[in-house]
Amino acid sequence: MLSGTATVSNPGAAGTLTLVTGALSQTVAIGSGSTTVPYSISGLPSVGGTQTVTVFAPNCGSAVTSYAVPTSCTVADPLNCSVSLAATPGACNPATNQYTLSGVLSLTNATQAQSITITNGVQSATAALAANTSTYSFSLNGLPSDGVARTLTVLFAGTACSSVSQQYTAPASCSVAPPAPCAVSVAVTPGACNSATNQYTLSGVLSLTNATQAQSVTITNGVQSVTAALAANTSSYSFTMNGLPSDGATRTVTVLFSGTACSSVSRQYTAPASCSCAPAVLSNVIVTRATCSGTAVNNDAGIQISAANASSYLVTGPGISMTNPAPLINGQATVSNLPNPLATASYTVTVFATNANCASAQQTVNLPVTNCNCPPAVCVPVVAERIR
């Protein structure tokens, strides 16, 4: 760097000075009335000898001075580090379907201690190399034999030596093809409900493919289980579960294997509904005729229903628009505000069993006419005489 001070005589308004030395120039600002201006020019080559610097001031002329240039101070570059790499993939091991990659790293002028990373994209190894190491042998074990073209790369932690790479091809696979996987399916059929026991039987068939191992199997539906020992290469196994409750529930049959060759399998089904029935019982039906308000009849006739083992009822007859059963509350129901019939009217009362598969109960009742025009009853005295 060249630095100095330019002196200005009779300074005037603010402006600029241009300094030129060799192939470089620099422009510096000068303030109004300033007589000295410091400057510095960097990037000049140290070549020795004498050089001049010229100062140009607009409308003020120029000035020249000389200075001594320092000689070169550059240290000779060290010899470059050179690196080469040789790698050899081993043969495939049939027991593991793997191979070992062996290699030798050769170095020249590796004057610095440094660490290296060796990688082939699947596995990596690291090592610390002392200064002036000339060779380093390494191996990568347990690599998969897949026949893939790979690149082995050596990376250096420092900057003295550059990374180096070599391509190679892994050996092809030498493993024996794995056996075909075991495939399993199960089909189940629930039988009809037995009314004598309210139970059913579940039948099923287990189908297997590639079940090359002997194994035991447990079949369960959450209520009952069946176990069996299956010989190697069994292709089908039939089973039954007896005495299951007919409850209409959705159940899952699951097949579990003792070994790991075959995976578990499941199938859902619906049990038959209960066939053990408690029929509906129509305990009592009370008909209430319409009342009178003077000689006017009220449309307030009604039917009261009491039932057992029943959940709903239906009443049909004059003045009733029921089309669907209505629920019984604690086995009771009342049909109110029936019109006074012109003549005795018949109504059919039906109660439906709690179990929809069981019998309903039915009764027909009559609603008599209410006549509010009848005169009030009159007490007539009766005299009894004894005749001899």
SS (H, E, C) 213-257: CCEEEEEECCCCEEEEEECCCCCEEEEEEEEEECCCCEEEEEEEE
State the pLDDT at residue 59. 65
CB atoms within 10 A of CB 290: 20
Is residue 194 within 8 Å of 273, Cβ to Cβ? no
What is the sign of the dihedral through the CA atoms of 92, 95, 98 and 100?
A: negative
Question: In the predicted model, is pLDDT for residue 290 greater than 80?
Answer: yes
Does the pLDDT at position 243 exceed 80? Answer: yes
Q: What is the structure's pLDDT at 165? A: 94
Cβ proximity of 39 and 28 under 8 Å: yes
User: pLDDT band at 78, cuts 50/70/90?
Assistant: low
Residue 290 tokens read as 């319409």
pLDDT classification of 376: cutoffs 50, 70, 90: low
Q: pLDDT at residue 162 above 50?
A: yes
Q: How many residues does the chain have?
A: 388
Give 118 or 22, the one with higher predicted confidence: 118
Contact (CB, 8 A) for 200 and 192: yes
Let me know: does 224 contact 241? Beta carbons within 8 Å.
yes
Mean pLDDT of 85-114: 93
pLDDT per position as a tens digit, 314-354: 999 999 989 999 999 999 999 999 999 999 999 999 999 98
365 pLDDT more than 90: yes
Q: What is the pLDDT of residue 77?
A: 47
Averaged pLDDT, 45-52: 76
- Per-residue confidence at 171, pLDDT binned at 50, 70, 90? very high
